């Protein structure tokens, strides 16, 4: 049984991971047309989603999505739903991996082949996503313990740099009076969607007690503000649109004067590769568990379970390899598409859970 | 069961190793580019690219500087670099490149092509120092000061402020250059490095650019004042004349801030506030310095400073460029986003300046 603080770890992981790719890009694209108000809307809806989801999932202590759907919904409805959600989770993990292959190629090792890097990542992620849920949470906590100080260091160092252009940040602030923009909301709410992993991880939480939900919204808001404004301070209100990986170029623009390494990029990369691999592991773990629940039961047959897991993970890896064919712009389009789908998926999931709760309670009464 | 799993794992690892192994080159098969110089080529529209290479050596204590300069002309920078690969036996590595020198003729025509290239290349850092080389980039690369032990290190130390803290040097990183090229309401600047013979260079001027090419070059004195306004804690000395005597004070700490005041439509002005804490460093008279004199030195120093700064600001305004980013500052404090830049354009030529300098000479030095 896991303590409630692991829920905060899951949440924190997701807020931090969204800095690397799609969220800052979508927000920055809309910096003159409503990204700022979208951030506020996202903080409100994100917090509301967390509140509703944790409320309803608490009614099913120790049960994951498959068990809840299995007990409340007809099989014909439950199975396709779980399959769709499994694909969503799988895609989220795969996109993180693909983005990181791209980032590694660009910033760290231009000479290495992309498939070599992907094979390395896949080996780690596939092997680790077989670990049981509770151990994954412990691992996540340790990883956060290592990477969080590095990320904080990067952020503080970025903001206290005298060459940081506060005027550019204020200039973008004066463009705040716009209606929110749908793409930006979808990107910004992703910051808050760490809670959704409870769909499987709820199996190890028995009676989740959430105190101070406002801390989550405050943290999410701060991360969003930093992830949106800091790159603008470094690359200007107009120049920023020319950068692909805004946060990695920002880290590359920070110099550490008194240290062994001069470029902040390496520290930032180390922190984020660790975090994104763990994040991909967790996403694929959830995806794998959801798919396993659709296959014939394997209770007390570890060999059969292993075979099923291998088939699923090989399919996952093959899918990631197939997705490697996309170029930078395709990848971005798929990412934005997924951000939208995921948001509607979350909304649907919360509604479904409330419906399940209603069915179960009526049956009991 | 367990052995089978181990075997699969080992096999996977082995596969990974064979895939990654083939492309990696060890340090003894690489040669490091420490500085890039770009001049116009002989034919119109071509580039003459020069690379300063550092040759890795083992023992740091017995280092004898070894470097090599490659030059190649081509119509594109990338083509020139590829051709240079045939001139050396090792792989050229740009990861440690710290400076890019633009020849003065390039900077007089268009810097955007080169900037775009330097930011786009994935293996070149964004904390790369940009500078203009006079008379050309190649001449600057060829300078080899006797005090230098690692190739191009003198340039790196001077530009980064890790070595000398000259008040005349301002460093511009490639991300800053990129930012001010595209930003509305700020114009780029570049430091100028002059090669003086084979063994010495001089960095004491900055060039103001209009997004594209050099429009104005500031004198060393103006450069120092520019640096005083654009960064805090500039370590320098300024003169103060009192009676018949000349005094020099050293700035222990300095700060400056400004406000754009546009309440009256017909009389917009910028109010600069400069605060300096200083120590007396030089006294041309034989008089003992009293408390009263210390105050007077501060006052007359402040008056001289504000006069000089006002002259510089008027010169910058009349050039039509905005190296300080006043336009961006104005835009950042106004919410009429569609019209603010047009309003600023019409305000800018009419701007007046009020410079309030506050020099506080705290000590008279070791003697009175």
State pLDDT tens for residues A130-166: 898 999 999 999 999 999 999 999 999 999 988 899 9
CB of A82 within 8 A of CB of A290? yes
Task: Extract the tokens encoding B225.
Answer: 């004042």
| Confidence at residue B15, expressed as pLDDT on a 0 to 100 scale | 60
Distance CA A269, CA A185 (A): 27
Ramachandran angles phi, psi of A58, nearest 5°: -65, -20
pLDDT in tens, A183-210: 899 989 988 988 899 889 988 888 777 8
CA distance B92 to B81: 9
Question: What does the mean pLDDT of chain B come to?
Answer: 87
Q: Give the tokens for residue A307.
A: 């075979």
CB contact under 8 A, B20 and A263: no
Q: How far apart are CA A228 and CA A352, in angstroms?
A: 33
Long-range contacts of A213-217 (CB under 8 A, 24+ apart): A213/A47, A213/A50, A213/A51, A214/A47, A216/A8, A216/A11, A216/A47, A216/A50, A216/A192, A217/A43, A217/A44, A217/A46, A217/A47
Q: CB-CB: which of B19, B125, B180 is closest to A116?
A: B19
Residue B60, pLDDT above cutoff 70:
no
Before B135, cis peptide (omega within 30)? yes
Q: What confidence category does residue B59 fall into, taking pLDDT thresholds of 50, 70 and 90?
A: low
Beta bridge partners of B258: B272
In the block, residue with structure tokens 């470029």: A263
Averaged pLDDT for residues B96-117: 92
pLDDT given for residue A355 in this prediction: 92
pLDDT interval class at A365 (50, 70, 90):
confident
Question: Do A123 and B181 count as a contact with CB atoms less than 8 A apart?
Answer: no
Nearest CB to A115 within list B19, B173, B180: B19
> What's the domain count of chain A?
1
Mutation for B interface: A123, A166, A168, most B CBs within 10 A: A168
Q: How far apart are the first and last CA of chain A?
A: 29
CB contacts < 8 A, A to B, total 103
In B, which residues are within 8 Å of A239 by CB distance? Answer: 178-179, 181-183
Q: Is A112 on the interface with B (CB under 8 A)?
A: yes
- Chain B residues within 8 A of A249 when measuring between CB atoms: 126, 175
Which positions in chain B touch A171 (Cβ < 8 Å)? 185, 328, 331-332
Quick one: pLDDT at residue B1? Answer: 47
Geometric angle at alpha carbon B51, from B45 and B54, rounded to 5°: 175
Contact call for residues B287 and B245 (beta carbons, < 8 A): yes
Look at strands B129-134 and B99-103 and give their pairing. Answer: parallel
Q: How many residues does chain A have?
A: 365
Write the CATH number for A148.
1.20.1740
Residues in B touching A123 (Cβ below 8 Å)? 12-13, 16
More confident residue, B191 or B155: B191
Burial code (b: 16+ CB inside 10 Å, e: under 16) for A59-92 equals ebeebbbbebbbebbeeeebbebbeebbebbbbb
Query: With bands split at pLDDT 50, 70 and 90, how would you rate the model's confidence at B217?
Result: very high
CB contact under 8 A, A123 and B329: no
What is the per-residue pLDDT across B17-56, written as a single tens digit (0 to 9) for each?
Answer: 555 444 567 777 888 898 999 999 998 889 999 999 887 6
User: Given a cut of 50, is residue B312 above it in pLDDT?
Assistant: yes
- In 3D space, the residue among B56, B13, B270 whose CA is nearest the CA of residue B151 turns out to be B56
How many helices and strands (H and E) does chain A possess?
15, 0
**A255 and B127: CB-CB below 8 Å?**
yes
Query: Cβ of A6 under 8 Å from any chain B Cβ?
Result: no
Nearest Cα neighbor of B282 from B253, B339, B224, B241 is B241
Range of the domain at A238: 5-364
Model confidence, pTM = 0.88
A285: its two tokens: 């773990």
pLDDT in tens, A232-272: 999 999 999 999 889 999 999 998 887 778 888 889 999 99
């Amino acid at each position: 049984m896991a303590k409630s603080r692991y829920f905060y770890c899951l949440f924190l992981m997701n807020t931090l991971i969204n800095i690397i790719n799609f969220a800052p890009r979508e927000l920055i694209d809309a910096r003159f047309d409503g990204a700022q108000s979208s951030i506020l809307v996202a903080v409100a809806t994100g917090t509301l989603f967390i509140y509703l989801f944790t409320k309803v999932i608490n009614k099913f202590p120790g049960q994951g999505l498959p068990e809840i759907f299995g007990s409340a919904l007809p099989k014909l409805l439950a199975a396709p739903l779980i399959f769709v959600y499994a694909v969503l989770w799988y895609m989220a993990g795969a996109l993180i991996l693909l983005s990181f292959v791209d980032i590694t190629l660009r910033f760290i090792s231009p000479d290495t082949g992309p498939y070599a890097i992907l094979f390395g990542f896949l080996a780690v992620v596939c092997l680790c996503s077989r670990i049981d849920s509770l151990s994954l949470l412990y691992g996540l906590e340790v990883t956060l313990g290592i990477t969080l100080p590095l990320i904080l260091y990067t952020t503080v160092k970025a903001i206290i740099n005298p060459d940081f252009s506060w005027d550019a940040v204020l200039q973008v602030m004066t463009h705040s009076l716009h209606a929110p923009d749908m793409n930006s909301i979808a990107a910004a709410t992703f910051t808050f969607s760490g809670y959704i992993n409870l769909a499987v991880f709820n199996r190890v939480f028995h009676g989740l007690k959430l105190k101070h939900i406002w801390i989550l919204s405050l943290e999410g808001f701060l991360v969003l503000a930093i992830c949106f404004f800091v790159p603008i301070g470094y690359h200007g209100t107009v120049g920023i649109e020319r950068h692909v990986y805004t946060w990695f170029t920002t880290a590359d623009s920070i110099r550490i004067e008194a240290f062994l390494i001069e470029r902040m990029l390496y520290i930032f990369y180390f922190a984020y590769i660790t975090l994104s691999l763990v994040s991909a592991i967790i996403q694929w773990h959830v995806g794998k568990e959801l798919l396993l629940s659709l296959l014939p039961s394997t209770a007390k047959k570890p060999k059969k379970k292993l075979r099923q897991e291998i088939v699923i993970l090989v399919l996952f890896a093959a899918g990631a390899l197939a997705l490697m064919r996309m170029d930078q712009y395709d990848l971005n389009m798929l990412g934005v598409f997924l951000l939208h789908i995921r948001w509607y998926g979350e909304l649907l999931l919360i509604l479904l859970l409330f419906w399940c709760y209603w069915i179960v309670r009526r049956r009991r009464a | 069961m367990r052995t089978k799993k181990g075997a699969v794992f080992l096999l996977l690892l082995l596969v990974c190793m064979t895939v990654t192994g083939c492309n990696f080159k060890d340090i003894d098969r690489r040669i490091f580019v420490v500085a890039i110089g770009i001049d116009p080529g002989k034919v119109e529209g071509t580039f003459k690219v020069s690379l300063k290479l550092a040759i890795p050596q083992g023992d740091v204590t017995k280092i004898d500087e070894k470097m090599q300069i490659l030059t190649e002309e081509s119509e594109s920078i990338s083509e020139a670099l590829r051709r240079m690969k045939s001139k050396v036996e090792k792989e050229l590595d740009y990861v440690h490149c710290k400076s890019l020198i633009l020849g003065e003729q390039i900077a007089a025509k268009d810097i955007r092509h080169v900037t775009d290239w330097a930011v786009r290349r994935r293996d070149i850092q964004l904390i790369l120092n940009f500078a203009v080389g006079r008379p050309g980039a190649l001449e600057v690369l060829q300078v080899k000061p006797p005090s230098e032990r690692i190739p191009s290190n003198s340039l790196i130390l001077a530009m980064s402020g890790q070595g000398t803290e000259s008040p005349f040097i301002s460093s511009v990183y490639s991300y800053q250059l990129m930012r001010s090229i595209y930003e509305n309401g700020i114009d780029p600047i570049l430091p100028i490095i002059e090669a003086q013979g084979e063994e010495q260079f001089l960095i004491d001027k900055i060039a103001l650019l209009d997004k594209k090419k050099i429009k104005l070059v500031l004198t060393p004195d103006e450069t120092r004042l520019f640096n005083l306004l654009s960064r805090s804690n500039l370590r320098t000395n300024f003169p103060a004349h009192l009676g018949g005597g000349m005094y020099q004070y050293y700035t222990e700490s300095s700060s400056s801030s400004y406000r754009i005041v546009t309440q009256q439509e017909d009389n917009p002005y910028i109010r600069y506030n400069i605060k300096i804490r200083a120590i007396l460093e030089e006294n041309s008279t034989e008089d003992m310095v009293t408390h009263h004199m210390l105050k007077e030195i501060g006052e007359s120093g402040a008056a001289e400073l504000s006069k000089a700064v006002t002259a510089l600001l008027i010169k910058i305004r009349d050039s039509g460029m905005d190296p300080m980013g006043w336009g961006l500052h104005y835009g950042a404090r106004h919410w009429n986003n569609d019209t603010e830049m047009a309003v600023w354009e019409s305000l800018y030529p009419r701007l007046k300046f009020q410079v309030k300098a506050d020099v506080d000479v705290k000590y008279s030095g070791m003697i009175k």
